[in-house]
A and B are shown apart, each in its own frame.
Chain A
Amino acid sequence: MRWFVQLRMRIQMLIGRGKAGVRLDDELQFHLEQQIAENVAAGMSAEEAHYAALRAFGNPALLREQARATWNWTWLELLVRDVRHGVRTLMRTPGFAAIAILVIALGIGANVAMFTVVHSVLLKPLPFQNPERLFRLYEHSSDDMFAFNIVAGGVYAEWKTQNRSFSDLALLGDAVFNLSGENGQLPEIAHGTNCTWNLFTTLGVRPALGRDFTAADDQRSANGTVLLSWGLWKRRFGGDPAILNQAIHLNRRSYTVIGIMPAWFAYPDAATQLWTPIYHDKPASVMESLGDHEFQVIGRLHPGFTIAQGREDLSLIVRRLHDQHLNNPMISKAAEISPLLDDMVGDFKRPLYVLMSATGCLLLIACLNVANLLVARGAARRRELAIRTALGGGRLRLLREQLMESFLLSAAGGSAGMLLAYGAVQWLVHMRPDMSRVEAIHIDGIAALFTVGLIVLCALFSGVIASFATTDKRILSTLQSSARGSSSGQAGTGLRRSLLSIEIGITVVLLVAAGLFIKSYAHLRSSDMGCATENTLTMRLALFGGRYGQPAQLVNFYTALLERVRSLPGVEAAGFVQAVPGQGYWGDNGFSIVEHPPLPQGEAQFAIFRFADPGYFAAMRIPLLRGRSFDPSQRLDHAREVVVSKSFADTYLPGEDPLGKHLHSGPGAAYTIVGVVGDTRYTPSEEPKPMQYYPLFAGESDNGTLVIRSNREVEQLALPVQRIVRDLDHDLAVSDVLTMDQLLGKSTLDASFDATLLLGFAVLSLVLAAVGLFGVLSYIVAQRTNEIGIRMALGAQREQILRTVLLNGLRPALVGLAFGLFASAGVTRLIRSMLYGTQPLDPAVFTAVTAALFGAALVACAIPAWRASRLNPMIALRME
């Protein structure tokens, strides 16, 4: 029962607190009246009785306080009072509060956004069953130069049957599907994945609707089956379950939809829209090859096995294959494995952590700035605080008030920051669709917890630093020093100078890092691709189905397409190639030079290859250095010419005349080298690699990139060209319609993104540091107005005053600059691998940062210094 009464009491005290206060007053008043009555009864006059009672009673306010202190919820009452007091104090200086909240909001917002990305992408386990046992399996490249090569179909089959360390292995490969329009829909290009039937069981995922693949589906002879992504199902099929067991047409072949994957499922990436069984789709020759490295392999490691054991197991198998087939030099000799999560997000690790450190620095600067502002305000309120202390205000209570203020600022800033972070995350996801696991990026409970943690951290950090400076134990001296005529105490300014130096030092580090990234990005974008990049349009095409079953049909299509595109008004030149510079590595093949002695057994040489039409080099302005391009009249089996790049000639035919030499690659007759062309880069960040161009008109390639060059707005040609494609084949969709500039922009997106973000953070912190410097100096000048007035009255020149104040402000800036440059020299080593063509100690960047920082500091200091030198001594002296 007692607990019930206590509980009722608690509730009463919580909701009826005001009434309880009134009653307490009444109760005490009654006591007083009784005392008076007693006094009167004892023979005193009314007035005398009143005063005697009051004397006996003591301080009624104190008495009330003491009684209230025993009540429940007193802590809450005190908290509310502190909050109210804090809010009121902050409202008195709304400018200060707004700036501080904005600064914290920026700092916390940037951090929460980056944390959300890092947490969702890098840290969260993959949404599969026991994801820690899932691994990506690789072969070494056949020259052992690269340990993380993709895997040949035949090697996978051997691994699957012979390994002991994996409970399941699955194989997958990228596939592009031409999704035919049913019932009047437009055809579209859909990115998909060919996979072995057990991919989803290996991952431990079930379709949301329908059934998974079975081993029977995954055969050349089986009927086509397909699993759709949730997004494709919703978008193209209206989310209608009736699509199950219906046939759709992919590359003009019929596939039955057997299931829909869950909405959250995105493997191997978010762009994947459908999955088909690989042994059904790919010819046996590809699936059984031991030397054609084409596929990704994933595996689930048995619980009892270590990574090293798994690697050893696979390596032994592939090594045995290599030794059994010494005549095939493309078979690799060893295997490698790495956790699936690392494989998916490894490329983003370093950039994300760099950006996260940058936001961390930004938050630190924001906190330092707020601490600085609080110190300034605390100093301005020194007299008030001293008086309150003298009147009996507890030191703890004053400290609590100060912490409450900084907590209020942090909480307001953090809430605003959360909104900012929400926007920032949306923007990030929108900007970086290429990032792995981008679909998993959401602000969740952990991000919210992180925000709360940051708020508390900021509040403690800035509050504690600020209270260091303001809880002055020498009350008397404070009260005295505010007497007229003496310069204000210097307490706090030393601390503020150190804070400023730290702030400026961190800013310098950020600026240097941003500068390096920008320079690196500029290098990247200005790297010579070796071909035309202006007014050049590209679009990808893939030819499918029975209509292109014969090489001659492919060649006819290409001939007709190029003829009609070239005759379009405005088109200067057009060509067709498997992949243009900047579209990636694509593929390489092994070759031998007929005129050279054979390579030792087991050794191979290989180079990138492309199929190109005779007009491609002219269309892309790739210079023809020697010889000629392909003979356009040589078609199909007669097209046995090859064009090589300059670095190919230099690497494999040094000091020889490449023209007329013969390359052997694959089955069939050798190819004659008829020309040498300039080098091109397959991606902007890599030096040109040796390249071979084989004739498109041999009819061996069914997909590639159409390039169109014009002398004016080339994008206007996109629609007419697409119309030509439709006229030639109404069921054919083009994809990736991009100008060369856009294409290169896309391939350097990560570099530009990193550089832009980092620059943003650096500029922000520069502004914060400058504002901090300005604030401190303005404050010092305001404090010393009296002193400056006296100096002037005694004959000091304005220039002298200007110089003194300027030096006063520049000193912490210079200390910070030196410290920052020193730190940068160490820190930039860590980002060396992310820089392209730029040294971590790039003198131009360091000089530019020094100049920018010095300039900003000078401006920030010049204004208060100039103001000080303009002071009117009479007014300054009269001012109290």
Chain B
Amino acid sequence: MGKPSDLLQGTLDLLILKTLLMEPRHGWAIAKRIQQISGEVLQVQQGSLYPALHRLEQQAWIKAKWAASETGRQAKFYSLTAAGRAQLEKETANWSRLSTAIDLIVNEA
């Protein structure tokens, strides 16, 4: 596997929000989840993940809670807020528009 693809600017926020839509997760789980779902294509570096999480928390799109993890150790679990859900919808719509547009260009006969 070559170098992990760089995430498009701003898409990490979308991915994190999306990952948190189903259930609260901690940082490690978020990174793992993104990696798994993307079929190991997207590897989120810690250097991007934690600043992004903290930024989203400051923006009040996600909120954090300390709880016991599956191993019993205390971990910081992030979950979506109402504002975060709205933001997710907005960003999802944005993304669809953008990817459709790019598809159109790339797949032009």
Contact = CB atoms under 8 A, between A and B. Distances in A.
A9 B51 contact: no
Interface in A1-44: 1-2, 5-6, 9, 13, 23-24, 26-28, 30-31, 33-35, 37
B60 A30 contact: no
B97 interface: no
B59 to A, nearest CB: 7
Nearest to B54: A70
Contacts of A58: 45-47
A62 interface: yes
- Chain A interface category by residue count: 20 to 34
A2 B57 contact: no
Contacts of A67: 50-51, 53-54
Interface stretch (B71-79, B88-96, B99-107): B71-79
Contacts of B75: 27, 30
B26 A69 contact: no
B55 A70 contact: yes
A34 B54 CA distance: 20
Given A1-B83, A6-B58, A9-B60, A30 B76 contact: yes
Contacts of B37: none
A62 B71 CA distance: 27
A58 B69 CA distance: 24
A647 to B, nearest CB: 88
B48 to A, nearest CB: 8
A72 B58 contact: yes
B27 interface: yes
A71 B54 contact: yes
B51 to A, nearest CB: 5
A5 B81 contact: yes
A211 B31 CA distance: 85
B27 A27 contact: yes
B28 A30 contact: yes
Nearest to B45: A58
B27 A69 contact: no
Contacts of A71: 54, 58
A72 B75 CA distance: 22
A6 B59 contact: yes
A70 B47 CA distance: 12
Interface residues of B, number: 28
Interface string B35-75: 00000000001110011111101111001001001010111
Given A1-B83, A28-B50, A63-B47, A70 B27 contact: no
A23 B57 CA distance: 14
B51 A66 contact: yes
B19 to A, nearest CB: 15
B82 interface: yes
B46 A31 contact: yes
**Which of A9, A34, A62 is the most central at the interface, judged by chain B CB atoms within 10 Å of its CB?**
A34
Given A6-B60, A63-B46, A71-B58, A34 B28 contact: yes
A671 to B, nearest CB: 98
Nearest to B83: A2
A287 B37 CA distance: 107
Contacts of B76: 23, 26-27, 30
B40 to A, nearest CB: 14
A822 interface: no
A57 interface: yes
Contacts of A37: 71
A57 B57 CA distance: 22
A33 B74 CA distance: 12
B54 A31 contact: no
27 contacts: A1-B82, A2-B60, A2-B81, A2-B82, A2-B83, A5-B83, A6-B58, A23-B76, A24-B54, A27-B26, A27-B27, A27-B76, A28-B46, A30-B28, A30-B74, A31-B27, A37-B71, A58-B45, A63-B46, A63-B47, A63-B50, A66-B47, A66-B51, A67-B53, A69-B51, A70-B55, A70-B58
Interface of A: 1-2, 5-6, 9, 13, 23-24, 26-28, 30-31, 33-35, 37, 57-58, 62-63, 66-72
A-B pairs with lowest CB-CB distance, top 3: A5-B60, A70-B55, A2-B83
